[in-house]
Amino acid sequence: MFIPATQEEIKKIGWSKLDIILITGDTYIDSSYIGVAVIGKVLIHAGYRVGIIAQPDISDNKDISRLGMPELFWGVTSGCMDSMVSNYTASNKKRQKDDLTPGHENNRRPDLAVIAYTNLIRRYYKNTRPIVLGGIEASLRRISHYHFWTNSVRRSILFDAKADVLVYGMGEKTILELADKINKKKDFTDIKGICWIGKTPPGDYIKLPAHEEVVKDKNKFIKAFELFYTNTDPITAKGFYQKQDTRYLIHNPPRESLTNDELDAIYELDYERDVHPYYKKFGHVRGLDTIRYSITSHRGCYGECSFCAISVHQGRMVIDRSESSIIREAELITNDPGFKGIINDLGGPTANMYGIECLNKTKHGACLDKRCMTPVICKKLKVSHKRQINLLKKLRDIPGIKKIFIGSGIRHDLILNDKSFGMQYLKEIITHHISGQLKIAPEHSEDLILDLMGKPGTKTIIDFKRQFDRINSDLGKKQYLTCYFIAAHPGCTMDDMYKLKQFIKKILKFTPEQVQIFTPTPSTYSTLMYYTETDMKNGQPLFIEKNRKNKEKQKNIIIKKHRQL
């Protein structure tokens, strides 16, 4: 069933009141790819009465009062993306389109949506139930952070939103414990995976430089970020606190990772794979097209690209679903009347991390002094694509499935590292799981920039392309790589982009269309470098392109034709 969005639905179910009301900046798609839908279904499965209000109008109380006030708490999220990224380009231009709004027009999501929605609730419910923030916007803005759009350091969003508690990371376990304690009127401040506001800091927690200090001193900002980042692993992390005004942000240690069985159970709840009828009437939602018949195989990413926040939000540990769970979901999809035989994607943040993880990390936590994949893949990460090869073969044998695409990006360096099954895996996906193009993300060609990005060196993409072309030739296929590149990343100059242009022309031999200007988003090392203009590896000053026109010039070097090459 859908999570109720109207009073009529609530009455039809037989509920008199709601325990929890969820507010989201996306339209409501009931899918396991949509965080608010997952949280709602998990809570309903546990016996709570849950309703949802999507993209409420913040100019009046018509939407926010539609379901009344919840008995336990409000849950507020900006949606699947940070609202500032949803609303603005890297050049700070307003985005006109929104794939998660009916009609595709970007006219329903306010800036800093969790703040806007919390204010909306308090405006019309003076003595309201607790307000709980969650989702990626809240998660990545949970400590003092750099806000690119105003070029300033903002407080924890928990303070700016004037909410009661913040759930960070993937919050299924946390939200269940929080709901239970609020329902039983018990103190919830000891729950792992939350931030809360205290008058005095816990004596055994780590002290971060105060907000006032990090605003004035970039070295203090660096120290605060590094203490924050090194305390995100669920096995090794300690709690910490940060003074925000006269009060303290109390950041409890992370929640332990889900087990494989728990992940299976979450993805096998009864998702409708559709837009709720109340919102469908407002227009087509393009975001549904890619996720309706797609399957998540795992969560987490140990790639730790400097510009990516997945490590902070989903975690650096890859948690897999079982083969049997994924197969059951695929079989369920084949029974959908609208299914035409095509699975649009099977994967996670990185498709080919399925079934690959460091056993040392699962027991002792992520290493503090090195990364899993850069500058080289760690020997303790036993890379084998065997499990994914077997899974793909079993899925292809399911009656009713014609094609399974790998729509998620892959790590080409993982394939090259796997001496036993890497080339077999590459041949499998070239033969069965792409249609003309394979997505990879080399991001750049210059080793200095790649090192700053936390990406493998140029030799890796050259070797991978050679193998990709060889297998296609052996199979008699004409297929191509789709490569993603970033312009104006910290450290990147115009000269670096011209070198990238030459590399693309001479080595890759195609004209790329997927070139993004780097966007400084909260809680990433690249953003830390951007704001502080410092190379984090050596503490030396770093060139940062901050002029908007020059950023666009860097991008245009790649996507436009130039006479002198």
**Helix 35-45 with 172-183: angle, nearest 10 deg:** 50
Distance, in Å, from the CA atom of 97 to the CA atom of 106, rounded to the nearest integer, reads 5
Distance, in Å, from the CA atom of 329 to the CA atom of 335, rounded to the nearest integer, reads 10
One-letter amino acid of 198: G
- Please check if 483 is assigned to a binding site: no
Cβ pair 524, 561 in contact under 8 A: no
Distance, in Å, from the CA atom of 37 to the CA atom of 23, rounded to the nearest integer, reads 11
Q: E strands of 244-391, at which residues?
A: 248-251, 274-275, 294-296, 298-299, 319-320, 342-343, 345-347
Give me 26's structure tokens.
Answer: 């996306």
Give me 144's structure tokens.
Answer: 């003092």
Distance, in Å, from the CA atom of 187 to the CA atom of 173, rounded to the nearest integer, reads 17
Collapsing DSSP to helix, strand or coil, 446 comes out as coil
CA atoms within 13 A on the CB side of 222: 15
Collapsing DSSP to helix, strand or coil, 258 comes out as coil
Distance, in Å, from the CA atom of 299 to the CA atom of 33, rounded to the nearest integer, reads 11
Q: Which residues contact 54 (CB under 8 A, 6 or more apart)?
A: 5, 23, 24, 26, 27, 28, 276, 279
**Helix 548-559 with 494-503: angle, nearest 10 deg:** 10
Query: Which of 132, 135, 127, 148 shows the shortest CA–CA distance to 109?
Result: 135
Distance, in Å, from the CA atom of 421 to the CA atom of 38, rounded to the nearest integer, reads 34
Cβ pair 56, 64 in contact under 8 A: yes
Distance, in Å, from the CA atom of 76 to the CA atom of 4, rounded to the nearest integer, reads 16
- Please check if 308 is assigned to a binding site: yes
Distance, in Å, from the CA atom of 511 to the CA atom of 523, rounded to the nearest integer, reads 32
Point out the annotated binding site: 301, 305, 308
Residues that constitute the known binding site for [4Fe-4S] cluster: 301, 305, 308
